[in-house]
Structure 1
Amino acid sequence: MEKFVRPFAALRPSRQYASAVIAPPYDVVNELEARALVRERPYSFLRISRPEVEFPSGTDPYTDTVYAKAAENLQKLKTLGVLVRDPKPAYYVYQIQTDDHQQTGIAFTASIQAYDTHRIRRHELTTPVKENDRIRNIETLNAQTGPVLSVYRANEKINQLLNIKKSEEPLFQDIAQHDTTHTIWRVDDPDTLTAISHTINAMDTIYIADGHHRSAAASKVSAQRHSKNQQEQKNASYNYFLTVAFPHNELKILDYNRVVKDLNGYSPEEILKKLSMCFDVDTSDGPVKPNVPTTYGMYLSGNWYRLKIHNNLKTNHPSASLDIALLQKHLIDPILGIDDPRTNPRISFVGGIKGQEELKNLVDSGKWAVAFALYPTSMDQLMAVADANELMPPKSTWFHPKLADGLLSHILD
C-alpha cells in the first residue's frame, strides 16, 4: 500500500516563547474576541492567522494588504527567534488535557493524493469563501499554519510508541483557551520514526474530524503548484498537509446546537401544533440537555421543551440517521423553511461548550426566536458516514478540546 504520511521539520516556538505564541484556531473566535486576545500579546499567532486584528475594526479581512501583513508578522517572529525551524524531519506527540479529559495524538504531514483519492476521508462540504481564505493564507505564507484535526481507529502499537515518548522531557507545555494544557514532544530517532511510519502507513484510512477548509485548501494549493511545475518531485512538501491524528476512542465530541431568527410566520402555538406531527413534545421545568439520541431540547417563548422524534421516522442510513439530519428533515426545513443551513442567514450554530444558558440568552435577547439543543454525534457515526462516502449536515460536530494554532507549522519548501 502506498505511503500516505511522513515526518516533517516543524516551524515552532522556541521553548521560552511558546506561551506567548499559542493561540486558538482562527475559526473559533470572532473579530472582537481575536482583538481582545492579541491585546498586549505582540507574539500571538492570531496576528498571523487573523491578521485583520492589525487594522482598524471593520477592515475587509480578504484584501491583499491583510494577507501581506500575516506574512510580515510570520517573518518577524522568525527573525526574532520566537519561531524556529527544526533541523530535520520528525513526528510530534501532541497531548491535550483538561480537568476531566486527556487525548494524545501524533502530528505528521499527510498525502494530498491520499486525500484526493478518499484514503483520507472527509464528511463535510466546505464554503467557497472560507476555502479561498485558507488558500490565500497558505500561498501568502508559503506554509500551512493551522493543523487539521484527524482521527484513526485506535491502534495499540501507536499507543505504546507515544506513551514511551511521553515519559521524556517535552519540547514545551502551555495553557491555551478554556484552560486546556497543550504538551508536545519531538520524535526524531530513526527507529521510532520507522516504527511510526510503518504502523500508520499500514492503516486503511484516517478521517478528517475538524479542519475541512484547511485540508481542502491544501489540496487546491497542491493542484495549482502541480500545474505550474511540470518537473516537480512527487515528495514536494506542498503535496502533503499538516494534521494531528488522535485515536477514535480518545476524541470528545460535544453537541452542536442551532438557533433560528424567526418562526417562518408562525406563532409559538402553531409551531407546537406542527411539531406534534413528528415529535412527542413535553414541557420542562428547566433547561433540556439531551442524554440519549433522537431527543432534543427546544427553547421557545421563555419555555423549555423536550422533543422526541417518532420511531417510524428513524432510519439506519449512515447520514440520514444523524440527530441533526432528522431535525433538519422534519422540523428546520418543512416548518421553519430553512432548506440549506450552509447558506441561509436565518440559522446559526452554537458550540455545546457554551451550554444551554447561551441558547436561552440568545433567544431572550430577541435576536433569535427559537433554539434547539442536540445530542452529540458519535465518532462511530462520523466514521460510518465517511466510509459510505456521504456527507454530514453542516456543523454536526463540535470537538473539544481543540488544537492550538502556532505550535506546529508546515513550511512549503
Structure 2
Amino acid sequence: MAHIIPFKAVRPTRDKVSLVASRSYQSYTKEQVESRLRDNPFSFLHIINPGYRFAKDVVGKARYALVKNRYLEFKEDGIFIEDEKPTYYVYRIVNRDGDVFNGIIAAASAVDYEKDAIKKHEDTLAYKEIIFKEYLKAVGFNAEPVLLTYPDNASIAQIIAKVQKNRPEYAFTTTYRDTHYMWLVEDDQSIQKIQAEFEKMPLIYIADGHHRSASSFLLYEDLRSENPNHNSLEPYNYFMSYLIPESDLKIYEFNRLVKDLNGLSKEEFLIKLDAWYRIENRGKKAYKPSKQHHFSMYLDGEFYSLYLRKSLYKFETALDTLDAQLLYKTILNPILGISDLRHNDRIEYTNGKNDIVDVKSCVDSGDYKVGFGMVPATVEQMKQIADEGLTMPPKSTYVLPKLRSGVTIYEF
C-alpha cells in the first residue's frame, strides 16, 4: 500500500516562476551558472549557490547555512508563497521533442521506502547519501522531487484530465524549450480519491532520484530518533516526489566510452571480442542497434555491429538480460579490465538522447579509444530487476522527464 499524500508547497508566485525555476545545478557549465547569477536575481541558483555575493569558496555546513539564509530571504521578499492547505499538484511537461508527461507532485512515505513498497533498482553511494542528508537537515527543505512511477490508473488519469481543463496556476516555457504547466488539486473529493487510489497500489518504483530518496530516508531516521514525541505525522516522514504513470516514462540508454584497450592491440581486442559476439564491420556508416543484446561499437574510425553468441551467456536473473550488465560481464570487465564502473576513470558515459554520432565524435577527438551503444532498458526490465532485489550497473538508464528545481518546495 503506497502512502502518497498531499502537502502544503512553498512555491514561487505566478509572475516569477519562470525566473525562479532552474535545472539541476550539475547540468550547467560554470559560465552558464555565472550568467544566470549575474542576470537573474530570482533564479533558484542563488539559493543553492549562496556564496555568489561574498563567499564563493565556502563549503560544508557553512555553505548549508547560507543556502538556508538565501531561501528565507526569498520567502521574506515574497518571491515564495506557501499554500494554505495540503494539496496535490498536477504537473505537465511538453518537451522540445514533443514528449508529454502528466503526473502528480506529492509527498511519498519514508516508511514505504524502508519497507520496500517503494522499489529501487540502482545502487547508491553511502558517502553521497550522508552528504545530502546533512544538507537536507541543515536547510530544512527539498526542492527537487524524486521521480516515481506507478501502474497506469484510469481513476487518477480522469482526475488529472479534469483538473487540466482549468486555467493552470503555472504555464511557462524554459530557454531549453520545454513547456511546464501546473494545477492545484483543491477539492476534497479529488484529493481523497487520489490518495485512495495510491493506497490500492502494493508497489511503486523509483525511476530517477535514488540518492535523493535514500538521503530523505536517512533524514527521517535521524529526525525520528531525535524526536521523543514522534508520531509518524511529521513532515520528515515523507519526501517530495513526482509520480507519473508507467506509460509516460521515457527511458534512454547511456552509451559507454573507454579511454584505452587495456594494453591490447586492435587485432587482439577484436579476437577476444569474437569469443562472445558475431562481429560485422560496418565501415564509416553509423550503426545503431535496434534489438536487445545487439551493440554498436566505434573503433579506429569504423562502426561495428556486435551480436551476442547466446549459447555462451547464461540468463539466470532479470539483471542478466539488461544490456548494460551484459556489456559489463562480457567486454568491460573481462577484456577491458574495468571492474569498478563507479570509480574507474577509464570509462565515461554519454546519454543516448544524443545521437550515436556523439560516440563517434568523442572517439574521433582522441579522448577515447572505443565507444559502445545499446538499446534502452524497458520499464518492465527495470521493475523486474527491482522486484528481484537486484540493482543495475551505474548509468544504465537516462530517464525523462527531468523536473526543474524550485517550482515546488517541501519543508521538513
Whole-Å Cα distance in 1 between the matches of residues 352 and 78 of structure 2?
A: 38
Which residues in structure 2 correspond to 1:162-311 (within 5 Å)? 162-176=160-174, 178-284=176-282, 285-311=284-310
1:91 paired residue number: 88
Q: Percent identity?
A: 34
Which residue of structure 2 lines up, in the alignment, with residue 399 of structure 1? 399
Q: Is the 1:257–1:372 Cα contact (8 Å) retained in structure 2?
A: yes
1:64–1:30 Cα change, 3 Å: farther
- Structure 1 residues 204-213 or 72-81, which shifts more? 72-81
The number of residues matched between the two structures is: 409
1:76 to 2:73 alignment: yes
Task: Check conservation: 1:23, 1:177, Cα contact below 8 A.
Answer: no
2:103 paired residue among 86, 105, 123? 105
Q: Secondary structure at the residue paired with 1:253? A: strand
Question: Aligned ranges for residues 24-43 of structure 1 at < 5 Å?
Answer: 24-29=23-28, 31-43=30-42
Asked if 1:333 is matched to 2:330, the reply is: no
Once the two structures are superposed, residues 24-53 of structure 1 have per-residue CA deviations (whole angstroms, 9 ceiling, x without a partner) of 123444545544554412222233345576
**CA RMSD, 1 decimal:** 1.9
TM-score by length of 1: 0.94
Q: CA deviation at 1:315?
A: 1.7
TM-score, structure 2 normalization: 0.94
| Residue identity in the other structure for 1:70 | V
Distance of aligned partners of 1:195 and 1:172 in 2 relative to their CA distance in 1, 3 Å threshold: same
- Once the two structures are TM-superposed, the CA of residue 125 in structure 1 deviates from its matched residue by 0.9
1 CA distance for matches of 2:121 and 2:286?
31
Q: Provide Cα deviations, 1:310-340, integer angstroms capped at 9, x if missing partner.
A: 1222526211110101000000000111112
**C-alpha separation between the residues in 1 aligned to 2:382 and 2:397?**
9
Asked whether the equivalents of residues 47 and 54 of structure 1 are also in contact (C-alpha less than 8 Å), the reply is: no
In the alignment, is the contact (CA less than 8 A) between 1:258 and 1:349 conserved in 2? Answer: yes
Name the aligned partner's letter for residue 69 of structure 2.
Answer: E
Q: Which moved more, 1:116-125 or 1:312-321?
A: 312-321
1:15 deviates by 0.4
Aligned to 2:346: 346
State the distance in 1 between where 2:174 and 2:51 align: 21
- CA distance 1:287–1:407, change in 2 (3 Å): same
Counterpart position of 1:48: 47
Assess if the C-alpha contact under 8 Å between 1:31 and 1:53 holds in 2: no
Cα separation, 2, equivalents of 1:31 and 1:387: 40
Q: Which amino acid aligns with 1:331?
A: I
SS at match of 1:64: helix
The 10-residue stretch of structure 1 (173-182 or 340-349) with the greater mean CA deviation from structure 2 = 173-182
One-letter identity of the residue aligned with 2:206: I
Tell me the distance in 2 between the aligned counterparts of 1:38 and 1:398. Answer: 28
Aligned equivalents of 1:229 and 1:163: distance in 2? Answer: 41
* Cα displacement string for residues 371-409 of structure 1 (whole angstroms, at most 9, x for unaligned residues): 111210111111111111111111111012311111111
Report the Cα distance in structure 2 between the residues aligned to 1:178 and 1:399, rounded to whole angstroms.
17
Distance 2:232 2:346 in 1: 45
Distance 2:41 2:128 in 1: 26
2:139: which partner in 1? 141
Question: How far apart, CA to CA, are the structure 2 residues paired with 1:275 and 1:214?
Answer: 38
Counterparts of 2:38 and 2:362, CA distance in 1: 27
Give 1:263 deviation, angstroms: 1.4
CA displacement 1:101-159 (0-9 Å, x = unmatched): 11101111011000011001111111234323321321122011110001001111111
